[in-house]
Copies of this chain bind each other. A is one copy, B any other.
Amino acid sequence: MRILMIGAGGVGDAAARIAVERDFFEQLVVADYDLGRAEATVTAATARRDGEQRLVAARVDASDAEAVAALAREHGSTHVFNAVDPRFVMPIFRGALAAGAGYLDMAMSLSRRHPDEPYAKVGVKLGDEQFAMTSQWEESGRLALLGMGVEPGLSDVFARYASDHLFSSIDELGTRDGANLAVYDEDGNETFAPGFSMWTIIEECLNPPVVWEKARAGGDVEAGFFTLPAFSEPEVFEFPEGIGPVECVHVEHEEVLLMPRWLDAERVTFKYGLGDELITILRTLHTLGLDGTDPVRVKGVEVSPRDVVAAVLPDPATIGPRMKGKTCAGVFVTGTGKDGQPRRTYLYHVSDNEETMAEYGAQCVVWQTAVNPVVALELMATGVWQGSGVLGPEAFDAQPFLELLAAPKPVGYGSPWGMEDR
């Protein structure tokens, strides 16, 4: 396997540091708009293993499908791994197809709200543009694996696992994400610094959240999607391993679009433990119009307000040393167990910042996002996961993924997951 990774931000950098410990690939090209950033990632990751020579840095414009394809061809890349923010999904996706490479991402093509009833009906959904190209990927015989980070990604793997091994019928597949992370400034005061791209947080939290309900679908998966107002149906969810209760609200997320295509459930939801402070911040940004992406004219220059918001905050890749706490990703599954009895089970994965910083020099949110696509690439490289077309993580057998993730090093990735019946 020869990988072209686009993006050396927090997640790309952590993915390189994780991948370098594994033997499944021959080459990893780390490409970024900022060549210096790509080079820094290659240097840091290479230093983690004696004699390592598989990593190469390159410059790429992720908005240019031709440039992505040309770079993949130049390096004979068999797989393009998209590790930039979701604005660039389509050019990278098209570039990989044009180059005859496989493709993997951690977020899907962006949604556009319904023009008349944005908080009731779906418009263009997350991933619609990618699924529209399914036949082209099938004809190419290549696999495009969408949404293969932690959420979406590991959450979808959990859902498939629950569906295969734990439940005979499922009421709800409810992804629930929460954390007790805190970031401190140089003086030791707690400060606001999001764990991943503020651009993406705004995008997913202020878009109308999407929910899927079988009863609305009448056998037609497409018919079951609908939307709600932002921050709907707040629910206090109890997270494991000392994180405790966190208020969660509906958020637009890929799991809701992916799971119903392959798994049988009455309802599919995603709720994110945003917490009061972040909800207030997002509401305020929206009130002021600072969440907008259309450029505004400011003293002779044009900028997108949302880009300015992202620019004034600390780079998520740099906050690890000043952060404390754990983040938890998982799926709360309710329904009927294999034994015919009611069952409520939370399948989860916790990432502790102290551990990921010590072991990888990566903060826990980006590390947790980065480890899962590397595991998936390894399963693809070894032929355990095979397929063609445009597929989600739940289209594949979950068991080998969860085994490889949890198995101690050097066999696996040494990152155990948990399960709690409630």
* A residues with CB within 8 A of B: 191-192, 277, 280-281, 284-285, 287-290, 292, 296-299, 301-305, 307-309, 311-313
Indicate which residue in B284, B297, B299, B311 contacts A281 across the interface (CB closer than 8 Å). Answer: B284
| Nearest-Cβ distance from residue A263 to partner chain B, whole angstroms | 39
Q: Are A307 and B298 in contact (CB under 8 A)?
A: yes
Indicate which residue in B192, B285, B297, B312 contacts A311 across the interface (CB closer than 8 Å). Answer: B297
Indicate which residue in B277, B292, B299 contacts A312 across the interface (CB closer than 8 Å). Answer: B292
Indicate which residue in B287, B296, B313 contacts A308 across the interface (CB closer than 8 Å). Answer: B296
Chain B residue at minimal CB-CB distance from A314: B289
Indicate which residue in B284, B296, B297, B299 contacts A284 across the interface (CB closer than 8 Å). Answer: B284
Q: Which residues of chain B come closer than 8 Å to A296, judged between CB atoms?
A: 308, 311-312
Sample 5 A-B pairs with CB under 8 A, ordered by A number. Answer: A192-B287, A288-B309, A290-B312, A298-B307, A301-B301
| Nearest-Cβ distance from residue A21 to partner chain B, whole angstroms | 35
| Nearest-Cβ distance from residue A117 to partner chain B, whole angstroms | 14
Q: Which residues of chain B come closer than 8 Å to A288, judged between CB atoms?
A: 192, 281, 309, 312-313
Bound state CA distance, A285 and B285, in angstroms? Answer: 9
Q: Are B305 and A303 in contact (CB under 8 A)?
A: no
Q: A281-B287, A290-B308, A308-B308 are in contact. List 18 more A-B contacts (CB 8 A).
A: A191-B287, A192-B287, A192-B288, A280-B284, A281-B284, A281-B288, A288-B313, A289-B312, A290-B290, A290-B309, A290-B312, A292-B312, A296-B312, A297-B311, A298-B304, A299-B307, A301-B303, A305-B312
Bound state CA distance, A296 and B307, in angstroms? Answer: 11
Bound state CA distance, A6 and B359, in angstroms? Answer: 61
Q: Which residues of chain B come closer than 8 Å to A285, judged between CB atoms?
A: 284
Bound state CA distance, A285 and B280, in angstroms? Answer: 11
Chain B residue at minimal CB-CB distance from A282: B284
Q: Which residues of chain B come closer than 8 Å to A284, judged between CB atoms?
A: 280-281, 284-285
Q: Which residues of chain B come closer than 8 Å to A309, judged between CB atoms?
A: 288, 290
Q: Are B313 and A303 in contact (CB under 8 A)?
A: no
| Nearest-Cβ distance from residue A187 to partner chain B, whole angstroms | 13
Chain B residue at minimal CB-CB distance from A289: B312
Q: Are A298 and B303 in contact (CB under 8 A)?
A: yes
Bound state CA distance, A285 and B281, in angstroms? Answer: 8
Chain B residue at minimal CB-CB distance from A305: B312
Q: Which residues of chain B come closer than 8 Å to A292, judged between CB atoms?
A: 312
Bound state CA distance, A109 and B313, in angstroms? Answer: 30
Bound state CA distance, A292 and B328, in angstroms? Answer: 34
Chain B residue at minimal CB-CB distance from A192: B287
Bound state CA distance, A305 and B305, in angstroms? Answer: 9
Bound state CA distance, A297 and B287, in angstroms? Answer: 24
Q: Which residues of chain B come closer than 8 Å to A297, judged between CB atoms?
A: 311
Q: Which residues of chain B come closer than 8 Å to A304, judged between CB atoms?
A: 298-299
Q: Are B301 and A302 in contact (CB under 8 A)?
A: yes
Bound state CA distance, A307 and B303, in angstroms? Answer: 11
| Nearest-Cβ distance from residue A184 to partner chain B, whole angstroms | 14
Q: Which residues of chain B come closer than 8 Å to A313, judged between CB atoms?
A: 288-289
Bound state CA distance, A303 and B313, in angstroms? Answer: 14
Bound state CA distance, A303 and B310, in angstroms? Answer: 13
Chain B residue at minimal CB-CB distance from A297: B311
Bound state CA distance, A138 and B192, in angstroms? Answer: 50
Chain B residue at minimal CB-CB distance from A284: B284
Bound state CA distance, A294 and B277, in angstroms? Answer: 25
Bound state CA distance, A45 and B317, in angstroms? Answer: 55
| Nearest-Cβ distance from residue A165 to partner chain B, whole angstroms | 44
